[in-house]
Amino acid sequence: MICRFAPGVVWLWLLSTSAFASDITVHGFVTVVNSPTSFQIDDYKVTRDKSVLLELEPQHGGISLATFRPEDIRTGTELEITGAYDENSGELKASSIKVFSYDTLTVKRTALLEKLPSLTKSDAGWNGVIYADGQKITVSPATAITLKPNQAERTNAAQHDAPEALTFVPDSLNLDTFVHYEGVRESDGSIKAQKAEFEHAEVDEREVRMWSRFAPKVILPDYANHQPGELETYRKEYKILPSQEAQQYISRLGNSVIPAHQKELSDNNPLKIPFQFFLVEQEGFNALTYPNGVVIVYSGVFDVLENEAQLAFALSHEISHLVERHAWQQDQHFRDELIALRARGVFVPDRILLANLRASGFSSQYVQTLENQADRVGLEWMLTAGYDVREAPQSWKAVARKMRDSTSNPFWSSRENYTARRSYLMSELRNNYSNADYSTLKKDSDQFHRVVDIVKGFGNGKIQKPAVAAKEAVTPPH
Closest Cα to residue 184, out of 125, 108, 126?
108
Alpha helices by DSSP H, 97-161: 151-159
Residues of the chain within CATH 2.40.50 domain(s) are 2-100, 106-202
**Nearest in space to 38 (alpha carbons), one of 79, 80, 70:** 70
Cβ neighbors of 131 (< 8 A, separation 6 or more) are 113, 114, 115, 116, 117, 118, 137
Taking a C-beta distance cutoff of 8 angstroms, is the pair 145, 196 a contact?
yes
pTM of the model: 0.85
Residue closest to 204 by CA, chosen among 108, 332, 294: 332
Nearest of 396, 374, 391, 373 to residue 436 by alpha carbon? 391
Topology, domain 106-202: OB fold (Dihydrolipoamide Acetyltransferase, E2P) (2.40.50)
- pLDDT tens for the 478 residues of the chain, in order: 555 444 333 334 334 344 456 899 999 999 999 999 999 999 999 999 999 999 998 876 667 787 899 999 999 999 999 999 999 999 999 999 999 998 889 999 999 999 999 999 999 999 999 999 999 999 999 999 999 999 888 888 888 777 767 889 999 999 999 999 999 998 888 999 999 999 999 998 888 888 888 899 999 999 999 999 999 998 899 999 999 999 999 999 999 999 999 999 999 999 999 999 999 999 888 999 998 999 999 999 999 999 999 999 999 999 999 999 998 888 777 666 555 555 555 554 554 444 544 444 445 677 888 999 999 999 999 999 999 999 999 998 888 877 654 434 433 334 556 788 899 999 999 999 989 999 999 999 999 999 999 999 987 545 445 444 434 433 333 3
Contacts of 336 (CB under 8 A, 6+ apart): none
Strands (E), 260-334: 276-280, 287-289, 294-298
Tell how strand 144-147 and strand 191-200 pair up.
parallel
Cα-based angle 351, 356, 362 (whole degrees, multiple of 5) = 135
Query: In terms of CATH architecture, what is 2-100?
Result: Beta Barrel (2.40)
d(CA 371, CA 369): 5
